């Protein structure tokens, strides 16, 4: 009964996060997620969508199917198309992860803890509802590791083949997931079931060929997108997006445990018995972190595909600490997690941009937006049904006199003394409360701070906010 209640409540939190939190986490997420799926009525065409960009094709196609479904039901507003799509995505991801927790864990206490993590660990509802390739890879990688764990315990070939099939699906969402296939080979050797190796290699070859054939038509060569993606990431991504130390993801993985909650000696814990069924998830997490440590391009969101597996590996430790750990550990973990959960679910990332879009929707007379000195990193046209002329302009040479265009400036950019003689403030677009705190703590986060819109003097017909 408790499991059913946790499932229902966790599902509700995830769906609510998808419905009401439309935050844009990164530029890639906007370009390959939001802009690909909305507005559904301006769909570019399946072929064009599949043949564009360097990211995996399947997530974009699936996202577009969701918004196309909403559009076919009469939902015309792109914002509501997006809300419904994110809620549906979150429901799927949560349900698959919950299924995995039920299959992986045998003890009722462990199932309860795993479900609690999936539904209420601060990062899960948010990242289960983001239109990112990492989010799409997450449930399939969890499924693969779960069936790999069943294979390691029971030795049934069908579990091995299901693990490989789900791993292939995860790799189609995020290519780097494929490295976890090494774990499956290790498990075969561990069990010394050599006939399974032949079946594994045969199915692996078939899946590799089938997944690479579409690129012959889309890119002109077998697995053309994968080749280009690897070449770009190792040859150029570090130059464009910056390089981070090799240990970045290891530190992040530890940070996700909310230290020092799990820092303990665990006296009396039977490690072999507790982690017997978690060998496969441990291998998946280890291999995933190693492969991402090698790549020069690192971003925090890259760890999302193994987030749930990392939490699963904490379940035996959480069970031990809940029974025998000090009260301060429970208070610390639950308290910090509750604060972060509220922040993750309610804070809308880059709310300044989304507020700008809402204002433009309310002012159809505005036909152009000029972002001064790179104040607009993203031009959020996808949220609008009408075309807007987006421009990036230098503040030094700006002299617009058209009342149909607004100038948008970050609040930290200093304006010339004569600016107020030529322009008047039309609106201020504030960030979410978390980003307001981040901006105050670190000036480098200024691009996520308030944005201010200006009109030329004399444009009195617009209300001033």
Average pLDDT over residues 244-264: 92
Q: Which of 122, 91, 130, 135 is nearest to 345 (CA)?
A: 122
Neighbouring residues of 92: CB distance < 8 A, sequence distance ≥ 6? 139
Highest-confidence segment of 168-172, 236-240, 409-413, 444-448 = 168-172
- Chain centre distance of CA 53: 18
Mean pLDDT of the chain: 90
End-to-end CA distance of the chain: 52
pLDDT class for 217, splitting at 50, 70, 90?
A: confident
Neighbouring residues of 163: CB distance < 8 A, sequence distance ≥ 6? 144, 145, 146, 147, 148, 151, 184, 280
For the ranges 80-84, 215-219, 329-333, the lowest mean pLDDT is seen at: 215-219
pLDDT reported for residue 465: 45
Structure tokens at 368: 């152009």
pLDDT reported for residue 33: 83
268-325 pLDDT, tens digit each = 999 999 999 999 999 999 999 999 888 777 888 999 999 999 999 999 999 999 999 8
Q: Give pTM, 2 decimals.
A: 0.92
pLDDT reported for residue 407: 95
Structure tokens at 160: 């091995």
For the ranges 14-23, 56-65, 160-169, 434-443, the lowest mean pLDDT is seen at: 434-443
143-154 pLDDT, tens digit each = 999 999 999 999
Average pLDDT over residues 313-341: 95
51-107 pLDDT, tens digit each = 676 778 888 889 999 999 999 999 999 999 999 999 999 999 999 999 999 999 999
Task: Decide if pLDDT at 336 tops 60.
Answer: yes
pLDDT reported for residue 464: 45
Average pLDDT over residues 447-460: 88
Structure tokens at 324: 């025998």
How far, CA to CA in Å, does 56 sit from each of 52, 59, 63?
Answer: 10, 7, 12
Task: Decide if pLDDT at 207 tops 90.
Answer: yes
398-447 pLDDT, tens digit each = 988 899 999 999 988 988 888 988 999 999 999 988 888 887 877 666 77
Average pLDDT over residues 26-32: 83
φ, ψ at 390 (rounded to 5°):
-95, 130
């Amino acid at each position: 009964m408790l499991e059913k209640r946790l499932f229902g409540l966790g599902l509700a939190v995830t769906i609510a996060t998808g419905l009401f939190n439309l935050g844009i986490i990164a530029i890639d997420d906007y370009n390959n997620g939001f802009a690909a799926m909305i507005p559904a009525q301006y769909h570019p065409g399946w072929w064009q969508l599949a043949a564009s960009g360097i990211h995996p094709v399947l997530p974009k196609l699936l996202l577009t199917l969701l918004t196309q479904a909403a559009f076919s039901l009469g939902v015309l507003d792109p914002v509501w198309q997006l809300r419904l799509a994110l809620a549906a995505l979150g429901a799927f991801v949560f349900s698959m992860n919950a299924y995995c927790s039920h299959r992986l864990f045998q003890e009722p206490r462990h199932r309860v803890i795993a479900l609690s993590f999936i539904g209420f660990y601060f990062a899960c509802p948010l990242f289960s509802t983001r239109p990112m390739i990492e989010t799409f890879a997450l449930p399939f990688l969890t499924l693969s590791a779960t069936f790999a764990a069943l294979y390691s315990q029971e030795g049934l070939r069908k579990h091995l083949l299901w693990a490989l099939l789900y791993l292939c699906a995860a790799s189609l969402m995020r290519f780097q997931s494929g490295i976890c296939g090494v774990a499956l080979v290790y498990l075969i050797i561990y069990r010394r079931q050599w006939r399974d190796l032949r079946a594994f290699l045969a199915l692996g070859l078939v899946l590799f060929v089938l997944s690479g054939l579409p690129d012959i038509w889309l890119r002109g060569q077998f697995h053309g997108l994968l080749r280009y993606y690897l070449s770009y990431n190792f040859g150029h991504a570090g130059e464009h997006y910056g390089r981070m130390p090799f240990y970045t993801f290891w530190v992040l993985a530890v940070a996700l445990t909310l230290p020092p909650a799990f820092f303990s000696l665990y006296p009396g814990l039977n490690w072999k018995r507790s982690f017997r069924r978690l060998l496969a998830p441990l291998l998946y997490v280890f291999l995933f972190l190693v492969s991402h440590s090698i790549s020069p391009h690192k971003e925090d969101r890259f760890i999302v595909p193994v987030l749930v597996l990392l939490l699963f590996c904490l379940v035996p430790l959480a069970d031990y600490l809940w029974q025998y750990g000090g009260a301060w550990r429970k208070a610390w973990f639950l308290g910090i997690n509750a604060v972060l959960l509220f922040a993750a679910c309610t804070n809308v990332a880059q709310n300044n941009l989304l507020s700008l879009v809402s204002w433009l929707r309310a002012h159809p007379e505005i036909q152009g937006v000029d972002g001064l000195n790179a104040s607009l990193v993203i031009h959020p046209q996808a949220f609008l049904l009408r075309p807007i002329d987006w421009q990036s302009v230098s503040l030094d040479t700006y002299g617009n006199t058209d009342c149909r265009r607004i100038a948008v400036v970050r609040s930290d950019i200093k304006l010339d003394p004569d600016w107020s003689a030529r322009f008047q403030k039309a609106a201020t677009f504030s960030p979410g409360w978390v980003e307001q705190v981040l901006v105050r703590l670190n000036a480098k986060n200024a691009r996520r701070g308030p944005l201010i819109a200006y009109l030329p003097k004399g444009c009195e017909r617009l209300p001033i906010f």
